A and B are shown apart, each in its own frame.
Chain A
């Protein structure tokens, strides 16, 4: 495999084959908590993308300098720094979004998707593949959050990005923007994705993604 195709593979696996939300089921706390509207999902996805991307660059470039014994601590320092930067930036430039996401911005620190990628990928790979991996996973997470947010907003508020979809007659399913709705929507999406994956690759045995964690 040439370098270019391998980068492409590292990037695209996060979007589909190892999608952090729909396949690996990582980082469920923000996935369920902030996706009551499409715009919130996108904002959370972008913030997570930023932290994951920057942390992976730093961890990958410093991987020879970080002793193995203290690597997790070092990852956490790096991740927490970027999370705080994202927190202040959102507060300064997008106060409305920051108000909506509230404490969940600070909680990106404990998103196991980010720590997981540092430990499983960035710490063991060169800068190029690490950037590709982080971008792919970040985009995959962003798309998943957008999808979940859009489904919940359409059903729960009858609108998308605040624009009414069904007109005034539609009675919103309030439950969809409440926590139980998050579980329902996520459950159905997970079902749909595993069904779709099986339809697409009927001959291939379902591959077990490594390293299931919750978070």
Chain B
């Protein structure tokens, strides 16, 4: 590093010794990693499940209990265990109920590319009113101070308390909201706002029919 004029010639080591040293290092490193991975995995999964569980209660106002629905063979079926975090995104939905077991709506996990990376959300959907009734951002790396207002800005979040999904949801400028299917975009975070709108439309288009089929049969 410092101003040594010539690089000192290292003493000769046999190639076997080099390979052996790195092999041993890699072996122990692998052992440690596997041990730590297995040791922390249950907790990490529990954390994720807990975050999802909290979000479900958030997006379906009044929700006290939920059932997990899985999309199998073109329709939704109830799964017996109610633990979230299984089955993976794109196949699992959650049906929420209040304390009198009255059906409130469906929580739908969805994701869509935002300004930086995927924005992952959970949205609450009321199939009877055909309205979005709540939205929680689970994952977002949007710009701090601008794009992350999709999480922090209360006015923006108020858009999703009763948002009609028909006709298609559109974004409008702040203060210009005049219809139930309009979302007021955040000034300075147009891309993030539009990503949310796109995400909602896609999720609704994908899930509306299976959900309505399921609610007609079950609720």
Contact = CB atoms under 8 A, between A and B. Distances in A.
Interface of A: 36, 65-70, 73-74, 77-78, 80-81, 84-85, 88-89, 91-93, 95, 99, 102, 119-120, 156, 172, 174, 177-178, 210-211
Contacts of B139: 99
A80 to B, nearest CB: 7
A119 B47 contact: no
Interface of B: 1-2, 10-11, 13, 17-18, 21-22, 25-26, 29, 32-33, 36-37, 39-40, 43-44, 47-48, 51, 139, 141, 143-146
Contacts of B141: 102
Interface of A is mostly: helix
Contacts of A119: 1
Contacts of A156: 145
Given A69-B10, A120-B1, A210-B1, A85 B36 contact: yes
A198 to B, nearest CB: 24
Nearest to B20: A67
A74 B36 contact: no
15 contacts: A66-B21, A67-B13, A68-B11, A70-B18, A70-B21, A73-B22, A77-B22, A81-B32, A81-B33, A84-B36, A95-B47, A102-B141, A174-B145, A178-B146, A210-B1
A177 B145 contact: yes
B1 A211 contact: yes
A174 B152 CA distance: 14
Contacts of B33: 81, 84-85
Nearest to B35: A85
